[in-house]
Structure 1
């Protein structure tokens, strides 16, 4: 089983695929990337379909090999649930292909320009998206990116069937836990909440009237309990478990 701590031992390239959730094995995620590459796509992304009570990109993200700058910028933009991609997938059960960037289509003009440049810089133009369900009736967004030529009907059918088979095999791994294995303390949650609000360790220390060293200690403990590799991921998982 892939553990998030493994991320610190590997160098990220666009040849890698990183499960961003502890419930997905590296082997399973690697097969997803292999499917993308077999059909001429450079990147892949699997996420839970965003819902009203959990719209955040990081909270829904399960597997991707998007470069870290793209992931972080897109999460900060907070536009995943309202994107053209999600809107298009809500309107059809068919695969959606577009050379237009559906991820950033409804972002404000200035923000949209920056995101488009970042996506283009990392070869994320041209995307094929599927809305899929597993046997637990959970809904997912699966997107392959980096190919400008639209697949024909036969290739679409092959890719969709392969993705459905993989999702069926990995369904049990994708079912999230209802909470971390080890309970977080009230102080750990408090520090995470202020971190989610954009506060630094020094600022949190002033707010809570404790030392910066103590804040860092609480955050490290929270990251360990949430099996996160950094604060951003810890906050995302805390949101997923509805701790914040």
Structure 2
């Protein structure tokens, strides 16, 4: 169950982003975590947006987010950048990653202003605001960027990205992950821990479930990110 304080915080952040858009003449916004090797999908990373549900679904299924021009540009550029709406579904060479031009055109994503943001925990976020309006002048872009930084900074000093799995891992699960990270097989871990290989596999499966990982490698990567190992 979500704490009421968390709901208030989340709603406040959403309202701040919506207000930022309105004042600078944009219609749509999305704040998302920067895609990582163990968490690269759009739906996995989205934090707040006012995108239509149908578009969120279509974009998530396409898996274009991590390889998009939007992400490629923000990996190289710190200051805000003006892009066309195609930055969401095309790569940096202008090749279509998915047939989504019609979907985005329906909802008015002609022009995009995007930037990367860091929180106090050094997590990286993507903020992209969109509309059919002309691109902002440089001074206005800088002003919007500064206000976006302030909005993120007002997030009570808390990270918007999860700092750990929802279900706490047991000591044995962490131990099995640690030995997996060291390159040990289930049979080798069983000998080291004096338990059966079946039990090792059971611990690892439980850890993968809690970490929402599809395999051991991804579970280890997420455990490192959560500083469990």
Pair 1:179-2:149 in alignment: no
CA offsets 1:131-187 (integer angstroms, 9 cap, x no match): 11111111000000114311112111110110000111115151414122589xxxx
Alignment of 1:145-160 (within 5 A): 145-160=130-145
Matched with 2:217 is: none
The runs of at least 4 consecutive aligned structure 1 residues that moved more than 4 Å come to 21-24
TM-score, with normalisation over the residues of structure 1? 0.63
**Aligned partner of residue 154 in structure 2, secondary structure:** helix
Asked if residue 91 in structure 1 is aligned to residue 76 in structure 2, the reply is yes
Residue in 2 that maps onto 1:71: 56
Alpha-carbon distance change, 38 to 178 in structure 1, aligned in 2, over 3 angstroms: same
Task: Tell which structure's C-alpha radius of gyration is larger.
Answer: 2
Look up the match of 1:57: 42
Inter-CA distance 54–73: structure 2 relative to 1 (3 Å threshold): same
Q: Deviations over 1:3-56 (max 9, x none)?
A: 59xxxxxxxxxxxxxxxx979611211111110111110000000111112111
Matches for 1:208-219 after TM superposition, within 5 Å = none
Gaps of 5+ in 1: 5-20, 184-237
- What runs of 5+ residues in structure 2 fail to find an aligned partner? 170-207, 215-229
SS of equivalent to 1:63: strand
Whose relative contact order is higher, 1 or 2, with alpha carbons under 8 Å and at least 6 apart? Answer: 1
Please say if residues 130 and 141 of structure 1, whose CA atoms lie closer than 8 Å, have aligned partners that are also in contact. Answer: yes
Cα pair distance change 1:24/1:176, threshold 3 Å: farther
